[in-house]
Structure formats: C-alpha cells, structure tokens
Chains A and B, each alone.
Chain A
Amino acid sequence: MPFLRAASGGQHGDFSHLRTLTHVTTDALTLLPALTARVRETAHARTPTCPCGAATLADRPDATVVRHAGTVAKAHAADADRAELSLRVTAAARLPGVFLPPLTAAPVDLHGRLVTYWPYGTPVDPEDPDAAPWEAAARLLARLHRTPAPAPVPPMRGPAKAALAAARLRATAPDHPATAPVLAAWAALPAWARGEAAMPDPTTLCHGDLHLGQLIRHPAPDGPWLLIDVDDLGTGAPAWDLARPAAWYACGLLPPEEWHRFLTAYRAGGGPAVPAAGDPWPALDVPARALTAQTAARAVSKAVLEDRPLDEVERSLVDACARMASVRPAAPRG
C-alpha cells in the first residue's frame, strides 16, 4: 500500500487541510479476528439461541465489516474522527425510516479502530439490475434532504473524498494517458466541489456517498429499504447525493429509463436538490462532473495498481472527463 501524501503547494494546490490524505495502516491481520470475535459476542448477547451465520461482508482499507447472524460490526477507517463519527451515528439513530438505526449509541475502540454495531439488512442484488430500488433510493434521499438535521453533524464528506481520489491519481499514475484529462476536469470545478471551500448549501442533510451498496432492507429479507453507511453523512449540497446516478447516466452506464425513474421519484418526494420541473442539469452539472472525475480517478489508480489496461466502462468515464474540457461547468445557483 503506497503511503499517500499530496505535494503541498505547487501547481496542484495545497491539500494539507485534507486530513484523510494521510493514510494510517493498522494491522489487518489482528483486526479481522478481533472484530469477528466481538460481533459474535454482541450477537449472542442479543440472541442467545444464535444460529451462528457469520460472514465477512467487507475488508477494505476504509472499512472492515463483519456479520454474525443478525448483527453487523463495522470497523471504520483508521483515520476516522471519534467526535465526528459519534455525531453521525447519533444523527442516524434519530432518522428512523430513513437510516438504519445503530445498535449502540457510540463507537467503541478495537485495535486502534472505531467500531459501530448495526442490525443486518438484505442488500441490493448486484446480479439483478432490474430489481434495483431506484424509486426507494430517491424517496429516501428526498426525505433525508427535507429533514432538518436532528442533531449537529459535520459537513458532508463527498467533496473531500473526491479530492482524495484526485490526489491519489496524481500520486499513483502521473504518467498514465488518462490522468491528464481526469485532472483537467477536476481542476475546472469550483472550489467547493473540490473540497477547498464551504459547500453552497450549509444546512441540508446529505448522505454523502450514495450508491446501490448503501441501501438495505430491514428487517431482512423484505422490510422497507433504508440508507446505511454514516461515514460521509453531513450537511451540504444535496445535489451531491443525486450526482452519482446522474454521472452514470451521463457516461452511458445507466439507461435513461432508470435515471428518469430515479429523478421522477425524487421530485415526487419533494426533494430540494433539483427544481420540481424543467431541466435538472444546471443543478446537477457540477456534482455530476465531480463524481465522474472521482470515479475515473479511482478507476485509473486501480488499473495502474493492477497493471492492466482500462476496460470499456472505465474508458467511458475518462472520455466524459475529456469532453468536459470543451464545456465550462454550470454557474453556481443564484
């Protein structure tokens, strides 16, 4: 794992305010067994007659997630801030019907990582595009965006995470032919979308990292859909939460029908990120560009790490970044 630190100053700007740029590794070999044991204890405390269905759901640098029957333990990123994570978990607990409620109020320590506990829910099936819950996702976002923050929360972390992906691309793939168009698209964005200035809407509650892996049905297997993953939850520009599906649509990865189902349901739910009628793109343009650049940056970094060429899906993201050079981003909303 390369040690990541963006160059300070110089032509790429100063990223020193992005605390996530310093990646602190922990000993994953000790974390996973410890987390597995801890989730078993927690599950058995909840359900003494436990059938012991245990599984590792995710084991990535930014999160290790382990399931034991109906209980899920998540070890958050090594650099997660305790105070901020606590505020986000508290907010999720106070958003019933929108966010999955946590099992415990505060994160606990385990091998230098912060751990939170959640009930298990059934995720979206990645093998079945026709079953993707576009309407449910849109309705949940509209509700989230219309709800005043139930507790103080830090800013939504979407732009900061995108800045991290851009910095990592610059560090890991400086000579790749796709790097220049992706970074040019990134540099053309307004400062707020690059995580370098406050977001235009400082009060709206946002998820911050919406994709189809962030929805589960609870209670499993067929309860209502709920949002999960509080790591980027916070206040900011709600269009950011619509921008990943918007970017997939713009890049030709999401069929127009599915994008319009999502957009129509969001509008029907009274979501404030786009006007109720008419062209939504003036509101979506900047965040959709940012998420296209972020996704392209991650794809190129990953391809370089794996020493392989870009596949056609990844190329479509880079191509979209290249086309952005000929059209300036939409002006901020007045």
Chain B
Amino acid sequence: MQCPKCHAPMHTYNRNGVQIEQCSGCRGIFLDYGELESLTRLEAQWSQPAPPAPPAAPQAYPAAQAPAWGAPQHGGHGHYGHHRQKSFGRMLFSS
C-alpha cells in the first residue's frame, strides 16, 4: 500500500503481535482499527511489573542533620559516584 501522506510505499512490521505499517519515505505509521488500543494495552502490561513508588523509607540521614549552607543534593544518590573518585584521592588527602 501507499502512504496516504507522501505516497511512498509502506512496509508492514510486527510489533509484539500487532501489525503496523510504516512509510519508507516519511516514516509515518499507519494503524488499523483497534491496533492503537492493542499497543496501549501491551505498554501497560510491560510497565506493570515495575514496583510501586517506595514507601517512605526510614530516614537514615534526617535532612535536619546537614547545615543549611550544604550542597542542595543531600538525600539524593548517584551524585557521589560522579564526584567520588575525583574528590577522594585529591581533596580528602590534603590540608
């Protein structure tokens, strides 16, 4: 079939059991009746096993136990791995 927009030929692909047509020219996608709903349903199933938002974990490091002038990223994780090697070997070994 031809793309209704740019009239280039369309190719059929199978995505998780849903047939979709994609235009070889403008990359537009054509969905048959019900296919959008099928994709939405599949997407919902895919994300369902993800854990719900974690309950309020016991606050090991209460926010109050850092000075008000401290770095704003307190309580977050991931920041330190970035800084860690750089600051450890240099900053933490000198006066």
Q: Contact residues of A with B, CB < 8 Å?
A: 124, 126-127, 129, 132, 161, 209, 211-213, 248-256, 260, 279-281, 284-285, 288-289, 295, 298, 311-313, 316, 319-320, 323-324, 326-327
Q: Once the chains bind, are A327 and B68 in contact (CB under 8 Å)?
A: yes
Give A162 to B6 CA distance when docked, in angstroms.
72
- Number of B residues with CB within 8 Å of any CB on chain A: 28
**Listed residue (A256, A285, A298) with the most chain B CB atoms within 10 angstroms of its CB:** A256
A213's contact among B75, B79, B94, by CB below 8 Å, is which? B94
Q: Once the chains bind, are B79 and A252 in contact (CB under 8 Å)?
A: yes
Residues from chain B with a CB closer than 8 A to the CB of A316 are: 71, 83
B69's contact among A212, A250, A255, A295, by CB below 8 Å, is which? A250
Q: Once the chains bind, are A252 and B92 in contact (CB under 8 Å)?
A: no
Q: Once the chains bind, are B71 and A126 in contact (CB under 8 Å)?
A: no
A320's contact among B65, B71, B86, B92, by CB below 8 Å, is which? B71
CB of B49 closer than 8 Å to a CB of A:
no
- Least CB distance, B69 to chain A, in whole angstroms: 4
Q: Once the chains bind, are B95 and A252 in contact (CB under 8 Å)?
A: no
Q: Which residue of B lies closest to A62 (CB)?
A: B95
Q: Once the chains bind, are A327 and B91 in contact (CB under 8 Å)?
A: no
A212-B93 CB under 8 A given contacts A129-B88, A260-B60: yes
Q: Once the chains bind, are A211 and B92 in contact (CB under 8 Å)?
A: yes
Residues from chain B with a CB closer than 8 A to the CB of A295 are: 91
Residues from chain B with a CB closer than 8 A to the CB of A127 are: 89
CB of B85 closer than 8 Å to a CB of A:
yes
Residues from chain A with a CB closer than 8 A to the CB of B69 are: 250, 289, 320, 323-324, 326-327
Residues from chain B with a CB closer than 8 A to the CB of A285 are: 67
Q: Once the chains bind, are A211 and B66 in contact (CB under 8 Å)?
A: no
Q: Once the chains bind, are A253 and B95 in contact (CB under 8 Å)?
A: no
Give A38 to B84 CA distance when docked, in angstroms.
39
CB of B13 closer than 8 Å to a CB of A:
no
Give A143 to B88 CA distance when docked, in angstroms.
25
Residues from chain A with a CB closer than 8 A to the CB of B65 are: 279-281
A250-B95 CB under 8 A given contacts A126-B89, A129-B84, A313-B87: no
CB of B64 closer than 8 Å to a CB of A:
yes
CB of B73 closer than 8 Å to a CB of A:
yes
Give A324 to B91 CA distance when docked, in angstroms.
20
- Least CB distance, A308 to chain B, in whole angstroms: 14
- Least CB distance, B14 to chain A, in whole angstroms: 47
Q: Once the chains bind, are A260 and B61 in contact (CB under 8 Å)?
A: yes
